[in-house]
Amino acid sequence: MAAPTLNTFRAGPDERGHFGPYGGRYVAETLMPLILEVEKAYEAAKRDPSFQAEFDHLARDYIGRPSPLYLAERLTEKFGGAKVYFKRDELNHTGAHKINNCLGQVLLARRMGKKRVIAETGAGQHGVATATVCALFGLQCTIYMGEVDVERQKPNVFRMKLLGAEVVPVTSGSRTLKDAMNEALRAWVSQVDDTFYVIGTVAGPHPYPAMVRDFQSVIGVEAREQMLEREGRLPDTLVACIGGGSNAMGLFHPFLDDSTVAMVAVEAGGHGVETGQHAASLAGGKPGVLHGNKTYLLQDDDGQITEAHSISAGLDYPGIGPEHAWLHDIGRVQYVHATDQEALTAFQLCAKLEGIIPALEPAHALAHVTKLAPTLPKDHILLMNMCGRGDKDVFAVAEHLGVKL
Amino acid sequence: MSRIATRFAELRAANRAGLVTFVTAGDPTLELSLNIVCGLPAAGADVIEIGMPFTDPMADGPAIQAAGLRALAAGTTMVKTLALVRAFRAGDNATPIVLMGYLNPVLAYGPDRFAADAAEAGVDGLILVDLPPEEEDELAPALAKNGLSLVRLATPTTDAARLPTVVGGAQGFVYYVAVAGVTGTKSAAIGSIESAVTRIKAATDLPVAVGFGIRDAASAAAIARVADAAVVGSAIVDVIANQLDADDLPAQVHGFVAELARGVRGARQG
């Protein structure tokens, strides 16, 4: 595409929720008035200092923000190139960046007087984070989760139940994350009066992609400040994994207008993009409409959505947030992919050299860092978002490594 | 005049409501589906909605979800859906055909190509569940150019402030979704439907068809007393699902549609 001539990359979306040709509000008419109501309430909340103050207070005392900026010295030494920093969002309460967004949305739901919260979940991280914040505020919480994921993520299912949430196994379609999202939308259509839908990533109908991005931007805002304090300058390269894209957008967005900062997002390459068994919507998909927004989707020639595959349940989704689709087309962010095997290798390397067991999602980001860092000079600062911890993945990884627990 | 407008004018002249029936293209197979669709007018269907199957039907309940999966498993594609309409049209040039479904398969086919091929096949209108008026720009010009009506949906959540957006520029008829929910689940109180239809009619001159929650002749008749047409989908699809192995599947579907038609046609008498 032609070189962008914009003054800013941070102004989107437009008032109809479009990022270039992507985004929008492709929902059933029953939901349209609700979506408009969420937008109106969010716009008002954004302008209300007391809303931001409540978010900041709980981000600090409940989530544990700011998350540390950490120089990974042994990995840096091993790679022999760029200085590698981690933004440690895996140290958040519930173990991932997901809770930043859940806190924001549940505060908004309370502000709107909603009594009941629903959410979809894949691996269970967003479900656990939503159930956690609902427990904190005593809100009724129902989580929709594909039957296949319920089976492969049993510990998270139990966590959600401990937190007082109802977990509904979804038996339609492929019984994974995309079907959980279909079912959550169906549930929302059926309970329009008192229900708030907490979407877990920067996707869905407007205002969700922008709203989730705003709540996750706390990651990039902190990182920017921490890096300036630590190094006296901005990082040169940001790296994050990407499924729907909320952790990547949260890190990138505050830096989008800093032309010296390069950004790389790493999609889940599964068994390899050439095999067709992957979750790389940008590398292997094309634009279409699903779940309320226009974006790149894995689909066949007839517009039927195809199944995604990734070792990481959190990246196992056939779409990507619309703002990423736009940033991809204009070339501001580079999108690459890492395979299951590469992520598994990076997962083990990080555990051994840094004493940090990463989630399989950021292990994809680290897999790319493994390739990129050695090619860069020693004064190059690379910042990777360590967006989740790997406790949830130890059983799956053991199985992949042929270890019986 | 379009087939849709002609048909509703005929219904008005006969002082009766219409019966709109829904089945999914290719359910359970393309051949049976064609037999089913071809027999619907004789069984009493006044307008035929044909579902374009989609992997992720987020506004549909279990019955129509399953119908879509059966159709996809049977190899249904957009090309084959349009071929089904063309084959129907060869024997019936009067009954309006409205394709119903989700936007993505239409976008994948290409808006201009879709509009041209659908019009050529004999399609009269289109209902896209996930395409609100605010996002129509990409498709509406191509449909208009080919004389296809884009039917708008109104729902119980469509309030007075939003109704003008929904019915402004609406074509063919307005489809009132009587229940805030997915297809095939519950029914709404007839009183609330009647007042909604009155509200919509105050805002548009188009006929109003009412769907969701109509399961049998009696509930179809109740709708026929207050609206211009009653739409039945899941209940018909259920007949298909329950008789998949029956040798006379099309006849069973037509028998059920005939019952519904008797309910609709007798509704305003006596």
Strands of the sheet with A140-146, listed across from one edge: A166-170, A140-146, A116-121, A195-197
pTM, two decimals, is 0.97
**A190 shares contact with chain B (CB less than 8 Å):** yes
| The one-letter amino acid at A404 | K
Active site (annotated) includes residue B124: no
- In which band, very low, low, confident or very high, does the pLDDT at A4 lie, cut at 50, 70 and 90? low
Q: Of B59, B108, B129, which has the smallest distance from its Cβ to A299's Cβ?
A: B108
- Residue B28 preceded by cis peptide, ω within 30: yes
Beta-carbon neighbour count of residue A220 at 10 Å? Answer: 24
Q: How far apart are CA A103 and CA A105, in angstroms?
A: 6
Q: What is the pLDDT at residue A156?
A: 92
- Quote the minimal CA–CA distance from A30 to chain B in Å: 6
pLDDT tens for each residue of A337-368:
999 999 999 999 999 999 999 999 999 999 99
Whether A218 contacts A249, CB under 8 Å: no
Q: Where are the beta strands (DSSP E) in A184-326?
A: 195-197, 237-242, 262-268, 286-290, 292-297
Any A CB within 8 A of B65 CB? yes
For B106-123, how does the pLDDT look when each residue is reduced to its tens digit (9 = 90+)?
999 999 999 999 999 999
- The CA angle B200-B201-B206, to the nearest 5 degrees, is 105
Q: Tell whether the model's pLDDT for residue A6 goes beyond 80.
A: no
Please provide the average confidence, as pLDDT, over all residues in chain B.
Answer: 96
**CATH fold of B3-265, please?**
TIM Barrel (3.20.20)
Helix residue spans in A206-308 (DSSP H):
208-216, 218-231, 246-252, 281-284
CB contact (8 A) between residue A27 and residue B132: yes
Residue B269's pLDDT is 80
Sign of CA dihedral B112, B115, B116, B117: positive
pLDDT (0 to 100) of residue B270 = 56
Q: Please name the member of A25, A27, A173 whose beta carbon is closest to the beta carbon of B55.
A: A173
Convert the pLDDT of each residue in A377-404 to its tens digit. Answer: 999 999 999 999 999 899 889 999 999 9
Q: How far from the centroid of its chain's Cα atoms is residue A216's Cα?
A: 9
B137 shares contact with chain A (CB less than 8 Å): no
pLDDT of residue B84 exceeding 60, the answer is yes
Rounded to the nearest angstrom, the gap between the alpha carbon of residue A243 and the centroid of all alpha carbons in its chain is 6
Q: Answer whether B131 sits within 8 Å of A292, measured CB to CB.
A: no
Mean pLDDT across A89-102: 98
Mean pLDDT on A202-224 = 98
pLDDT of residue A268: 98
Read off the pLDDT of residues A312-335 as tens digits, 9 standing for 90 and up: 988 989 999 999 999 999 999 999
Is B182 in CB contact (< 8 Å) with chain A?
yes
Q: What does the pLDDT average to over A271-286?
A: 96
Q: What is the pLDDT of residue B268?
A: 86
Among candidates A297, A278, A279, A277, which has minimal Cα distance to A287?
A: A297
Q: Please write down the HEC assignment for all residues of A11-45.
A: CCCCCCCEECCEEEEECCCCCHHHHHHHHHHHHHH
* Pairwise CB contact (< 8 Å): A186 & B103: no
pLDDT at A3 over 80: no
Q: Supply the pLDDT for residue B237.
A: 98
CB–CB contact A304 B105 (8 Å): yes
- Give the DSSP H/E element, type plus range, for residue A345: helix A340-354
Residue type for position B69: L
pLDDT tens column, A291-318: 999 999 999 999 999 999 999 988 989 9
Catalytic residue among B60, B117, B228, B238: B60
Confidence of residue A92 (pLDDT cuts 50, 70, 90): very high
* Percentage, residues of chain B above pLDDT 70: 100
Q: Is B198 on the interface with A (CB under 8 A)?
A: no
* Alpha carbon distance B8, B18 (integer Å): 8
Q: What pLDDT does A1 receive?
A: 46
Chain-chain contact of A303 with B108 (C-beta, under 8 angstroms): yes
Tens-digit pLDDT profile for residues A160-192: 999 999 999 999 888 889 999 999 999 999 998
Q: Is B136 a catalytic residue?
A: no
What are the tokens at A273?
């993009």
Residue of B76, B106, B107, B130 for testing the chain A interface, max A β-carbons within 10 Å:
B130
Which chain B positions have a beta carbon within 8 Å of A297's beta carbon?
104
Instruction: Map out the domains of chain B as residue ranges.
Output: 3-265
Q: How many other CB atoms sit within 10 Å of the CB of residue A365?
A: 29
Query: In angstroms, rounded to a whole number, what is the distance separating the alpha carbons of residues B180 and B197?
Result: 15
pLDDT band at A2 (very low <50, low <70, confident <90, very high): very low
Looking at the complex, does the CB of residue B252 fall below 8 Å from at least one CB of chain A? no
Is B55's CB within 8 Å of A33's CB?
no
- Count of C-beta atoms within a 10 Å radius of residue B248: 10
For residues A267 and A276, what is the distance between their CA atoms, to the nearest angstrom? Answer: 14
> Cα separation of A67 and A145, whole Å?
29
Interface contact B163, partner A, CB < 8 A:
no
Q: Given its phi and psi angles, is residue A79 left (phi above 0), alpha (psi -120 to 50 degrees) or beta? A: alpha
- 3-class secondary-structure state, position A360: helix
Catalytic one of B49, B117, B124, B238? B49
